[in-house]
Chains A and B, each alone.
Chain A
Amino acid sequence: METADVADLLEARRLRKHFGRVAAVDGLDFSLKRGRTLAVVGESGCGKTTTAKLILRLEQPSSGQVLVDGEDVHTLHGGALRRFRMRVQAVFQDPWSSLNPRKRVRSLVAEPLIVNERLGRKEVDRRVDRVLRDVGMRPEQARNFPHEFSGGQRQRIAIASALISNPALIILDEPVSALDVSIRAQIMNLFKDLQREYEVGYLLVAHDLGTTRYMADDIAVMYLGQIVEYAPSEDLFERPRHPYTQALLSATLPAHPDETKEEIVLPGEVPSPLDPPSGCRFNPRCPAKLGPICERTTPAVRDGGARGHTVACHLYPE
């Protein structure tokens, strides 16, 4: 991976998190620039949610660092920590459980301001007003309770609450997968518009590759706690290098009944992280396995053929 410069909004360095014997996240390096979107994709158990939690300080890393604006977020105190909480926000999958049902929209949306900033009531109202308009709601809806809204509207409320403190980074954890198909497009368009307007960076955690292609500038593909491929989004979709990425892309559903593509059906399931395979962790399921080297040696990160494209696989020269 390239060494990122200090100006990066977000950077992970050799990030590790162990739960007992399970290495949920096992040595991640990635970076994200302001106003850009990095997607972390992978299947259950790959460590993408743990990664999001480490960035949000909901988990402490076992080793390694998460830097936001060059500062290690796990060593912050006092004013610096308060500043971090303003600058880094999150939107989660399920807008039914992420909003307190007993609070009105105004206090849900204003909460990050009230907790972290000393502002007058008028100023808070003004900011709530503005952010509700920005997410496509009417200011008078601030008086309502969450149960009065549909799933899509609730997600807009959650987004408003994440935006109000003018964050530099928002973690989007499967932000549209609980929404109806006809609503997803609205919300994804909204994320894009807001990114331009607020110049906010997104770290998107998703399993749906369509969502990822639409939203992301860069993509990190994870398998069993490690990044197996890292590339600019278009390059990854057009020229996937890692056999796992290739299988993942081939498993996406067709857009038309006449679409034919070679489907790589992987045998078996993701092995238990309690007892990960030695060498390359993907080797027991890999259709392109070379031989003993894959079972013995952890593949180093190699050049993936394009700028910013790297792959951890023995198939490619070091």
Chain B
Amino acid sequence: MTRPSRSTPLEETRGASASGELLLEVRDLRTHLDTKNGLVRAVDGVSFRLHSGETLGIIGESGSGKSMTVLSMLQVVPKPAARIVGGEVLYRGQNLLEKNEREMRRIRGREIAMILQDPQTSLNPVFTIGNQIVEALRLHRRDGGGKALVHRAVEALRQVRIAAPEERIRSYPHEMSGGMKQRAVGALAISCGPRIIVADEPTTSLDVTIQAQYLRLLRDLQRETGLAILFITHDFGIVAKLCRHLLVMYAGRVVEAGPVRAVFNNPAHPYTRALLGSVVRADTKAERLEAIAGQPPALWGLPSGCRFAPRCPHADDRCRKEYPPQLRVRDEASDHVASCWRLEESHGNR
């Protein structure tokens, strides 16, 4: 009888692997959207770095610009409404924003692959899963003929722990459960041996125990291949479990960034603090939740100052008028930063 694997938490690997090769550096990325309500600065000066073997979490609510950031990186923003208007996306030293569509096609999938929230939309319902992986391999790898490609498709399914992969390559998406479909999408993503996987809320549609399996799988794949993972989520639990570094986004901007442990121990931006405080926990019983007042902002006609100011208990006149600079948070982590005028006052513990 099969027994479940009991092993140490995902935790361990994060501290263990020191930062590898710098794979991706995004500098001051800006993407604008034309909407009927006016111009939206969906991504408004986002910068970060990603190394091989590292997992970087981008956390934010709807409209924070977290998904638009990665769509811009890969130049798959919805056109013509969205325009990338500035910044650089340096992948191993080359600026992806200067590449044409033909060149980008060689990057997407082969160098940087994506896993989306809903596996249903990532798989073609009229082709078998094997066909879809072979098609991707044929486009990107071009080495080896039909048999070798099928063999590699089987291997990809095996890597994502799909049982009996030789049989499963003949399955259509509708013959698979939600969890298995998301694994198949994972197989499709890793089949061409990318260095970076961008995962946009890949577990949101999965059940709790299936989500646990999937996160473990991503961690194992990373350990085996040295992949870098860019994980987009709204869930601090996933960040705590999987990520080494974290960006917190609000209304198109990064408001806080740093090592996950530093941000959890010492959240500096009032938004991060409020967000962490409002999370319902399964491990203790809360009498009352600390709710954040107000609504996430409408992205057109944003205030010129700090975008969180209307909801922030510490905001003063300067906060409402001028956007705050990015400041270093004084704690043990050298790369913990936050954009807040009142960092010292609001962040009372130091």
Q: Do A and B make up one complex?
A: yes
Binding site for B on A (CB under 8 A): 43-44, 150-153, 180-186, 188-189, 192, 207-214, 233-234, 237, 247-270, 284-285, 287, 289
Pairwise interchain contact B208-A252, C-beta atoms closer than 8 A: yes
B217-241 residues at the A interface, CB under 8 angstroms: 234-241
- With a cutoff of 8 Å between Cβ atoms, the chain A residues found around residue B164 in the complex are none
Pairwise interchain contact A253-B240, C-beta atoms closer than 8 A: yes
A293 to B295, CA, bound (A): 54
Pairwise interchain contact A189-B291, C-beta atoms closer than 8 A: yes
Pairwise interchain contact B261-A185, C-beta atoms closer than 8 A: no
Nearest chain B CB to A178 CB, angstrom units = 10
Q: Is B345 an interface residue (CB 8 A)?
A: no
Nearest chain B CB to A187 CB, angstrom units = 8
Pairwise interchain contact A182-B11, C-beta atoms closer than 8 A: no
- With a cutoff of 8 Å between Cβ atoms, the chain A residues found around residue B292 in the complex are 182-183, 185-186
Binding site for A on B (CB under 8 A): 1-9, 11, 14, 61-62, 177-180, 207-213, 216, 234-241, 260-261, 264, 274-275, 278-283, 285-286, 288-292, 295-296
Q: Which of B178, B209, B235 has the most CB of A within 10 A?
A: B209
14 new A-B contacts, CB < 8 A, other than A185-B289, A266-B4, are A181-B61, A183-B295, A183-B296, A247-B209, A248-B208, A257-B239, A257-B261, A258-B11, A259-B283, A263-B9, A265-B216, A266-B209, A266-B213, A269-B179
Asked whether A43 and B280 contact (CB < 8 A) given A265-B5, A269-B180, the answer is: no
Pairwise interchain contact A44-B207, C-beta atoms closer than 8 A: yes
Asked whether A253 and B238 contact (CB < 8 A) given A43-B207, A182-B275, A182-B296, the answer is: yes
Contact of A185 (CB < 8 Å), options: B3, B179, B291, B296 = B291
Pairwise interchain contact B240-A260, C-beta atoms closer than 8 A: no
Pairwise interchain contact B212-A214, C-beta atoms closer than 8 A: no
Pairwise interchain contact A188-B289, C-beta atoms closer than 8 A: yes
Pairwise interchain contact A256-B264, C-beta atoms closer than 8 A: yes
A188 to B178, CA, bound (A): 29
A179 to B215, CA, bound (A): 23
Q: Which of A212, A214, A253 has the most CB of B within 10 A?
A: A253
A184 to B296, CA, bound (A): 12
A250 to B295, CA, bound (A): 33
